[in-house]
Copies of this chain bind each other. A is one copy, B any other.
Amino acid sequence: MAVYTDVSDEDIRAFVAEYDIGAVASFKGIAEGVENSNFLLLTDRAPFIVTLYEKRVHREDLPFFLGLMDHLAARGVPCPTPIHGRDGEALRELCGRPAAIISFLTGVWPRRIQPDHCAALGAALAEMHRAGADFPIRRANALSVSGWRPLLDACRDRADTVRAGLAETLETELAALEACWPDDLPVGVIHADLFPDNVFFEGFELTGLIDFYFACNDFFAYDLAVCLNAWCFERRGEFNVTKARRLLSSYRAHRALSPVEIAALPLLARGAALRFLLTRLYDWLNQVEGALVRPKDPLEYLHKLRFHQGVDGPAAYGLA
């Protein structure tokens, strides 16, 4: 739940006047998202989302994020589109923060994942990967393998307060991943944070991919590894191979996976698990008093990491 900035009625009216989208009829903070402040704006014409980029998003990355949404939407990917103002600009300031109005997507994110959701996700992810191929701006993945050691360094001293032995587990795993992280897999624009709350559905029809604020250039298959972690484990921790199979087979029906990508999946899945384990651990150990966001349980991702450490090949994910 996140609204970090209070926007006055005068502020939003002046802001909206820069666009040709009608007059403000309603403006309410949305209790979703963690990094930014999000508001639902209704004008007398249509609903929109207003996003204020808070300090965790770097201002210099915004042309990548907003340009990417424009690029993908123009190619049919169901994602929010930045609305351009009368001056042609999509990015301006509101209450001293970079801010944009983006198009509103219908649909609801799924709380109880079904295999059919995973199939729709796989297809949309593959189409997104293909649609991003000719996007001209580059952005490195700050949270790939080279970004994990600084996180571990910041957490190591207190990691064992969360779980005995956690620091050593993380150190061993990180060393292993650093030693064998691939560098020859197909790369392109990936979402890098495609959790269920970033995907909207109407029934099993996927209506939107949102929150591109971790998007970057990295291995396509790493995006699948993030999704295997985020979509294919049950609440009690069991890995649901049916969901994984549907995710991967549907992806492959829209973009071929090469043998090296398939072979790398268990390693990438370990890496994706470690990435979220480390960022959640960092947030857990650095809780801000009075924060309005509850930190997520890092140990959920320790469990997922252990699962991937134990698989003996990509067949564990339902691949033939």
Interface residues of A (CB under 8 A from B): 1-3, 6, 8-10, 12, 24-32, 40, 42, 47, 104-112, 201-202, 290, 292, 294
Total identical chains? 2
Check B27–A29 contact: CB distance below 8 A: no
Q: Max chain B CB contacts within 10 Å: which of A1, A104, A110?
A: A1
- Which residues of chain B are near A40, meaning CB under 8 Å? 28, 30, 40
A9-B109, A9-B110, A106-B25 given; A42·B31 CB < 8 A = no
Task: Report the bound CA distance from A30 to B32 in whole Å.
Answer: 8
Nearest 10 CB-CB pairings of A with B: A29-B31, A8-B111, A9-B108, A25-B106, A3-B31, A31-B31, A28-B30, A27-B108, A26-B106, A1-B1
CA A3 to CA B1, docked complex, whole Å? 8
Asked whether A1 lies within 8 Å of B47 as measured between CB atoms, the reply is no
Choose among B9, B24, B42, B112 the residue that contacts A47 (Cβ–Cβ < 8 A).
Answer: B42
Return A103 CB to nearest CB of chain B, in Å.
12
Q: Which residues of B contact A29 (CB under 8 A)?
A: 1, 30-32
Report the nearest B residue to A287, measured CB to CB: B290
Known contacts A29-B1, A29-B31; A6 and B111 CB within 8 A of each other: yes
A55 to chain B, nearest CB (A): 18
Contact across chains for B292 and A1 when beta carbons are under 8 A apart: yes
With A and B bound together, what is the CA distance between A33 and B93 in angstroms? 27
